[in-house]
Amino acid sequence: MAKAKTSFLVLLRQLLLKGAFYFFALSVGGVILFKFLPIPFTMTMIDRKVKSIMRGEDSEIHYSWRSYNRVSREMHLAAVAAEDQNFPNHWGFDFKALGKAYTNNQKGKKVRGASTISQQVAKNVFLWQGRSYLRKALEFYFTGLIELIWGKQRILEVYVNVAEMGKNTFGAEAAARRIFKKPAQNLTRAEAARLAAVLPSPNKWSAAKPGPYVTRRTAVIQKYMRALGGVKYIADLRRF
C-alpha cells in the first residue's frame, strides 16, 4: 500500500513539473511571438461577440490594428494621462497606487482598482475577464513578462490597439474611424482625450455622444496631458 502511494506521489510530482515546464515555455513563447506580431483578437472581443449573438444584436467586432507610428501621439498620451500617469516610470506595478486603493477599499466605500496599463494589457491579451485569485496571480506573472520582454513602447502600442472604446469597438483606429471619420494617426488632443475618457466603462459611456460626465472627464484628461508636458512625456519609452 505504501509503495503504491509513493508511486502515485512520484507520478503526480512528475506531472506537475511537466505542466509547469510546458506552461512556462508556452507563456514565454507567446509573449515573445506577440512582441513582433499584431494581436489577432482578445478574450474580451470573443466575449462581446458571443454576448451580442445571444442577445440577437449586431455582433460585428470593429478592430483594426495599427503600429505605434500610425497612431497619434496624442492618443498614446491620453491613455497614459487617463489610466496610468506613472506608466513610463514603473515596472508594471504602481505600488503607491495599490496602497491608496487598498486604504480606500478598507473603508467599505466604492471599490477602486489600481491596475496599470501593463496589467490591463496582460489581462486583455493573455487572460480572461472576471475576478479570482488565480486570474490575478496569472496577471502579475504576465505583467512581469511583458515588461521584461516587450518594453514600454510595445505595451502602450498594444493597449491603444486592444482597449475597448465603444460597443464592440476596440482600439484607437476603429474608434477614430467610427466616431470621428478619420484615421487614428490624425486624432487631435481633444479627440484623443474623449476616447480615453470612456476607457473605464466603454459600454456605459459614449465617446460618440458624450454626456456631461464624459465631457467633464475629457477636459480633465486634457488638463493632465498638459501637466505631464505633452507628448514629450512619452518620447523616450523603453523599447526592448
> What percentage of residues in the chain have a pLDDT greater than 90?
72
Residue 100's alpha-carbon distances to 93, 105, 114, 121, 131, in angstroms, are: 13, 9, 8, 22, 20
Mean pLDDT over residues 131-136, rounded? Answer: 88
Q: What is the pLDDT, as a whole number, of residue 72?
A: 97
Q: What is the pLDDT, as a whole number, of residue 13?
A: 79
Lay out the sheet containing 169-170: strands in order across.
62-63, 169-170, 164-166
| Class of domain 13-47+67-234 (CATH, top level) | mainly alpha
Q: Residue 3 above 70 pLDDT?
A: no
Q: What is the pLDDT, as a whole number, of residue 85?
A: 96
Q: Residue 28 above 80 pLDDT?
A: yes
Q: Per-residue confidence at 14, pLDDT binned at 50, 70, 90?
A: confident
Q: Residue 54 above 70 pLDDT?
A: yes
Among 21-25, 185-189, 205-209, the minimum mean pLDDT is found in 21-25
Average pLDDT, the chain: 90
Q: Residue 139 above 90 pLDDT?
A: yes
Q: Per-residue confidence at 103, pLDDT binned at 50, 70, 90?
A: low
* Domain edges within the chain: 13-47+67-234
